[in-house]
């Protein structure tokens, strides 16, 4: 029997500017989950990548005085450098301008058109370039984009449409019968309420945008984001006929931000229904990471450079901060001051001091060798009982409650510090057997914590 597989993806980023801490946050969340499943002995495939097409990138390239392909090629390095600096262990990095993606997307479009799920019509609507999305009047906030808080463009043009409304009942049934499909629960309830309001067919091509994947049978149309970007999760596996697809699909989880949850929880599964493909097991929506109470975004100008932060404090400090400080599924605030407080208070004084005191005693009294224990006393057995946290942490990580998992580990770290204070091994250096037992217990505890 082969290993159990685990396929995890994060949303592909839009590289119209350098990555900010919001991108770094999602990198870390997905990477922590991927690493946990590897530790559990599973065959993990972890996908990251870039969404490189569309009007927003076309305009950004023009403003930079570059051709779109040259522009995205340059931008790609910023995202891969950020992933490397954050120690992200991805298996593959997909770019939507790659031929392996383009060809399969064109195949899927033609297949959907042939079977009648895509048809030609005319579209008029209010469009946000920043979101690469159309909005209805009820979606707007004071007549403006609810995300970017700016005026929308009115767009009218010939367009291909995808029959989203056709899959409304099937989608509702799937969500209600698979409670883990959309997580956390409050997001599932929000999506169901959106679907109940009634789904409408959606535009899936543009004639006014040249930078993108052309429709093979009608090249004046450029395939729009829904059928360009969303299928990256299967094009990276070689498409429905690929060996990796047969091995890893369906995805165990898509990790996405709440601003694109609706696309992943409504449009993407409807496309998969139309293509007669299995749906991912879960779409997990995390919150925004804010900076001084404001959402980090290139479009709004609120920015924090993760490379500068990691260069200054190290990747471990940043990774630890976001996993512990920001509750899973909720928004959270980031400040350098809070990061420093957590790094000093938890990593240095909490776990670092424990490690230093124990290792110093091992080096001094046992020639840097892990001592062999003798008789365990009641206080040692209590520590051993407290160390049995693996199953609890595993349950929390598989429920995507990483902040609770970190806190569970910290309960044990605090217990270890109390055990050290109670046993005071530095006062019993003459009793080698007792000293060996205490230090062995602490070294083993540190291994479990690590």
Q: Which residue has the tokens 């209805």?
A: 136
Q: Is 373 helix (H, G, I), strand (E, B) or coil?
A: coil
139-171 burial, b if ≥16 CB within 10 A, otherwise e? Answer: eeeeeebebbeeebeebeebbbbbbbebbbeeb
37 labelled catalytic: no
Q: Which of 21, 23, 126, 416 is catalytic?
A: 23
DSSP-derived secondary structure letter, 260: G
Known catalytic residue: 128? yes
> Are 326 and 287 within 8 A, CB to CB?
yes
Catalytic: which of 144, 148, 163, 408?
Answer: 148
CA separation for the pair 400, 182 (Å, rounded): 12
Which tokens sit at 349? 């004084």
Tell me, yes or no, if 20 is annotated catalytic. Answer: yes
Euclidean distance between CA atoms 285 and 164, whole angstroms: 22
Among residues 45, 131, 254, 264, the one annotated as catalytic is: 131
Catalytic residue among 45, 298, 403, 416: 298
Which two three-digit tokens encode residue 364? 């001094």
Selected catalytic residue, list 295, 303, 365, 404: 295
* Residues β-bridged to residue 122: 158
Q: Examine the residue annotation and report whether 298 is marked as an active-site residue of this protein.
A: yes
Return the beta strands (E) in 179-242 as ranges: 182-183, 202-203, 205-206, 214-215, 218-223
Question: Does the annotation count 48 as an active-site position?
Answer: no
Angle value at C-alpha 120, between 115 and 126, nearest 5 degrees: 125
Q: Which of 37, 128, 403, 416 is catalytic?
A: 128
Partners of 297 in the β-ladder: 302
Q: Does the annotation mark 295 as catalytic?
A: yes
In the residue annotation, 145 being an active-site residue is answered as yes
- DSSP assignment of 295-356 equals E-BTTTTB---HHHHHHHH-HHHHHHHHHHHS-TTS-EEE-HHHHHHHIIIIIIIIIIHHHH
- For residue 185 the two structure tokens come to 């629960």
| Options 21, 48, 145, 416, the catalytic residue | 145
- Indicate which residues carry an active-site annotation: 20, 23, 128, 131, 145, 148, 295, 298
């Amino acid at each position: 029997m082969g290993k159990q597989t685990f396929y995890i993806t994060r949303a592909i980023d839009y590289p119209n500017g350098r990555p900010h801490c919001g991108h770094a946050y999602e990198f870390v969340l997905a990477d922590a989950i991927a690493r946990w499943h590897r530790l559990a002995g599973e065959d993990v495939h972890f996908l990251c990548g870039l969404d490189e097409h569309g009007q927003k990138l076309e305009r950004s390239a023009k403003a930079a005085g570059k051709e779109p392909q040259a522009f995205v090629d340059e931008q790609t390095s910023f995202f891969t450098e950020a992933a490397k600096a954050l120690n992200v262990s991805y298996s593959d990095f997909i770019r939507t301008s790659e031929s392996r993606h383009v060809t399969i997307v064109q195949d899927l479009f033609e297949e959907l058109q042939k079977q009648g799920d895509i048809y030609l019509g005319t579209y008029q609507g209010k469009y946000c370039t920043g979101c690469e999305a159309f909005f209805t009047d009820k979606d707007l906030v004071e007549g403006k984009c609810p995300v970017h808080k700016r005026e929308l463009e009115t767009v009218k043009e010939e367009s291909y449409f995808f029959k989203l409304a056709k899959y409304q009942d099937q989608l509702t049934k799937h969500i209600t019968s698979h409670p883990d499909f959309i997580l956390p629960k409050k997001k599932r309830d929000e999506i169901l309420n959106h679907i109940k309001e009634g789904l409408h067919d959606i535009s899936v091509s543009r004639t006014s945008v040249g930078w993108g994947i052309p429709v093979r049978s009608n090249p004046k149309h450029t395939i729009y984001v829904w059928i360009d970007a969303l299928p990256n999760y299967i094009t990276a596996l070689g498409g429905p006929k690929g060996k990796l697809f047969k091995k890893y699909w369906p995805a165990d989880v898509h990790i996405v931000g709440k601003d694109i949850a609706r696309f992943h929880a409504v449009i993407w599964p409807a496309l998969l229904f139309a293509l007669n493909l299995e749906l991912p097991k879960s779409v997990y929506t995390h919150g925004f990471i804010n900076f001084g109470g404001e959402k980090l975004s290139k479009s709004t100008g609120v920015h924090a450079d993760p490379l500068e932060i990691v260069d200054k404090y190290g990747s471990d400090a940043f990774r630890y901060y976001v996993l512990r400080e920001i509750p899973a599924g909720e928004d959270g605030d980031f400040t350098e001051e809070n990061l420093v407080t957590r790094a000093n208070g938890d990593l240095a004084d909490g776990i670092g001091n424990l490690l230093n005191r124990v290792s110093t005693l091992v080096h001094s009294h046992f020639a840097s060798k892990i001592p062999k224990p003798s008789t365990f006393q009641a206080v040692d057995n209590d520590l051993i009982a407290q160390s049995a946290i693996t199953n609890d942490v595993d349950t929390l990580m598989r429920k995507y409650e990483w902040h609770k998992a970190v806190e569970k580990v910290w309960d044990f770290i605090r217990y270890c510090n109390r055990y050290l204070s109670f046993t005071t091994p530095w006062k019993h250096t003459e009793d080698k057997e007792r000293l060996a037992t205490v230090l062995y217990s602490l070294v083993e505890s540190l291994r479990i914590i690590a």
